[in-house]
Structure 1
Amino acid sequence: MCFFLLSVKGAVAFKTKCPECDAEIDIPSDVISGEIVSCPDCGLDLEVILDEKGAISLKPAEIEGEDWGE
């Protein structure tokens, strides 16, 4: 018996909790490492980290501001 995993672009792969406000965050099935996802409630930006085994973890995104030469 064979099973196939169908990945639909934009489909939700899994749900996780925001570390800031505990709201539910949907992680899409086509997410890539380095992509930024945002909490729908508090707006916290989180960077997606994929390891070599395909495990997904999130860390607060380090958004760099523009350098205005000051």
Structure 2
Amino acid sequence: MKAVCVVCEANVTVPDDCCEGELVICPDCGTELEVVSLEPLTLEEAPQVQEDWGE
């Protein structure tokens, strides 16, 4: 399956057996993208994990 990177608009190949919530990397800009929908195939920039510093 193919989708478009929301950051650089490059074509991103997504595995046929992927599921919602799976992360893929854009081959052009290296952005981590999250599959948010399969029908239609939709990608969004994955949220950045932040340190909680033990809180």
Task: Flag as ranges the 4+ runs of structure 1 deviating above 3 A.
Answer: none
TM-score of the two chains, using structure 1 as the length reference: 0.63
Where does residue 49 of structure 1 map in the other structure?
36
Q: Report the Cα distance in structure 2 between the residues aligned to 1:61 and 1:38, rounded to whole angstroms.
A: 10
Displacement of 1:30 after TM fit? 0.7
Q: Aligned with 1:49: secondary structure? A: strand
Unaligned runs of 5+ in 2: none
AA matched with 1:23: A
Q: For the aligned residues, what is the CA RMSD? A: 1.7
1:37 aligns to 2:14 (yes or no): no
Tell me which structure has the larger Cα radius of gyration.
Answer: 1
Name which structure has the greater RCO, CA cutoff 8 Å, separation 6+.
2
**What percentage of aligned pairs have identical amino acids?**
44
1:67 aligns to 2:48 (yes or no): no
Q: Aligned with 1:28: secondary structure? A: coil
AA matched with 2:54: G
